[in-house]
Structure 1
Amino acid sequence: MSADLGRVVMVVPTYNEADNLAWIVGRLRVARPEVDVLVVDDSSPDGTGVIADQLAGEDPQVSVVHRSEKGGLGAAYRHGFEVAMERGYDVIGEMDADGSHQPEQLGRMLDALREADLVIGARWVPGGSVVNWPKSRELLSRGGNLYVRILLGLKVRDATAGFRLFRRSALTAIDLASVESTGYVFQTDLAYRVVMAGLRVVEVPIEFVERERGDSKMTPEVATESLRRITVWGIQERGRQAADLVGRWKGRWR
């Protein structure tokens, strides 16, 4: 149970998920009846927003935020997080609408949050797995996460994962309003900020299932942009480390 964690909401961003939304929200409400749902729809032309409104009309624990345009995954999550914080939630989670993140595994993540500030449902830790992914997609994800660990010095093994739970205090500590990432790199950005703030990150193994309906939003262009942003951050981090080292060296010789 998550009663001792306070009020919990899962933010679910959507763009053209009419085939999946009711199905995944229904599973979430059955798996964790005490958890609220906040759908953030980026003006989906396929009617996803209408379906979200219908779900909210039938269930007081489901609410919807309609955005005027498609602004990117990170922008949708940030907007949803801000709304959730304004509404006083203690735990703010995130998950995809396409079924790749299984609500039935949320319980183990809530349990882990008792000893953490951020819990990540991770694919690339012992016990984690992916289903129906081609080897090329797996290599891209594993390679991207290895690149993140090397460049940013993170110990997190799945910094790009999108199944997460944040304590409200963690989002406050990292100054959510200052986050500028709008695409998929948003996930890495927030994980990095949480670690740099000295907060505790716990990774819980999950089974990630590739979507069965609809089109993936991950494209080579999106992946390239994410790697570019991470490279810039890595160079900046190495610069800070070098400056700290020089400062300590000078201090010893004064």
Structure 2
Amino acid sequence: MPTPSQTHLVLIPSYNPGAKVYETVRAARAQWSPVWVVVDGSTDGTDAGLREMAATDPELRVIVLAQNGGKGAAVLHGLDEAAKLGFTHALSMDSDGQHPAELIPAFMAASQENPTCMVLGKPVFDASAPALRVKGRKISNWWANLETLWMGIGDSLYGFRVYPVEPLRSVMRGQRWMRRFDFDPEAVVRMCWRGVRPLNLDAPVKYLTAEEGGVSHFNYWRDNRLLTWMHIRLMFGFGMRLPLLVCRKLFS
């Protein structure tokens, strides 16, 4: 097993992922120590299995939340706990097997070399990716880059990324959004506004079928409404910050 890091941890928010979560956690543990799983009010029984895994693995911590609060809320809870123990950076990845655990060391190394940056996964899609979602994310990416005056966000939606803990905690504690599906894109925009620069690394993404154990909680209409409202909010914030962003662009 890898030597435990005192600064960087893997943080896996998890909500009703099915049995695939065990494979995800084992793959993450094979690459990094420590790994934390935040069970966000799951009702599929995976919390019990994860606790059994943690009982024999001191570098695996399982935090169980009583109610589902959304991905952002689960990540924030994990960040608060990580800050108490002195961790400075957290790699967030999904629990459903879509993200490449084998790239955890490379992303962590990039973060260690560039500690003031956030390291963002830039998805490389294969034939399993739904065309509607691949095309649809281009719209969100365009808006995110406009809202940051093209600071260089490679992808606003891909959740495999390393965050500096304190800047993200500060951003999230400063407002009530970023708690559900809007977490990933709003986090990168607001972190850019704060001056945290993105560093993009290519990473494959898998869209698993139900037969392969894939579980999706994405709802096209609900989640796209949420993203639309998010970008409306962010455009107001962009307008207020535009002079500062222009100055950064000119003098950076």
SS of structure 2 residue aligned to 1:206: strand
Specify the alignment match of 2:196 in structure 1.
199
Specify the alignment match of 1:115 in structure 2.
114
Asked which structure has the greater CA Rg, the reply is 1
* TM-score between the two structures when normalised by the length of structure 2: 0.84
Specify the alignment match of 2:137 in structure 1.
141
Asked if 1 retains the 8 angstrom alpha-carbon contact of 2:10 and 2:36, the reply is yes
Deviations for 1:69-107, whole angstroms, at most 9, x for unmatched residues?
A: 111111111111111111222321100011111110112
Cα RMSD (Å): 2.5
Specify the alignment match of 1:252 in structure 2.
none
* 244 and 89 in structure 1: CA distance in 2 versus 1, 3 angstrom threshold: closer
Alignment of 1:87-126 (within 5 A): 87-113=85-111, 114-116=113-115, 117-123=117-123
Aligned match of 1:36 in 34, 47, 59?
34
Deviations for 1:133-174, whole angstroms, at most 9, x for unmatched residues?
A: 1211110112221122234434312122211112335436x4
The answer to which of 91-100 and 177-186 deviates more is: 177-186
Tell me how far 1:118 sits from its aligned partner.
0.9
Asked if 2 retains the 8 angstrom alpha-carbon contact of 1:122 and 1:158, the reply is yes
Sequence identity (%) = 22
The code of the aligned residue for 2:110 comes to: A
Asked if 1 retains the 8 angstrom alpha-carbon contact of 2:148 and 2:193, the reply is no
How many residues end up aligned between the 2 structures?
237
The code of the aligned residue for 1:51 comes to: G
Alignment of 1:78-227 (within 5 A): 78-113=76-111, 114-116=113-115, 117-123=117-123, 128-154=124-150, 155-171=152-168, 174-180=170-176, 181-211=178-208, 212-220=212-220, 221-227=222-228
Deviations for 1:175-220, whole angstroms, at most 9, x for unmatched residues?
A: 4422422112111222122212222320111011113424212212
State the alpha-carbon separation in 1 of the partners of residues 245 and 71 from structure 2.
Answer: 35
* TM-score between the two structures when normalised by the length of structure 1: 0.84
**Structure 2 stretches of 5 or more lacking a match?**
247-252
* 160 and 244 in structure 1: CA distance in 2 versus 1, 3 angstrom threshold: closer
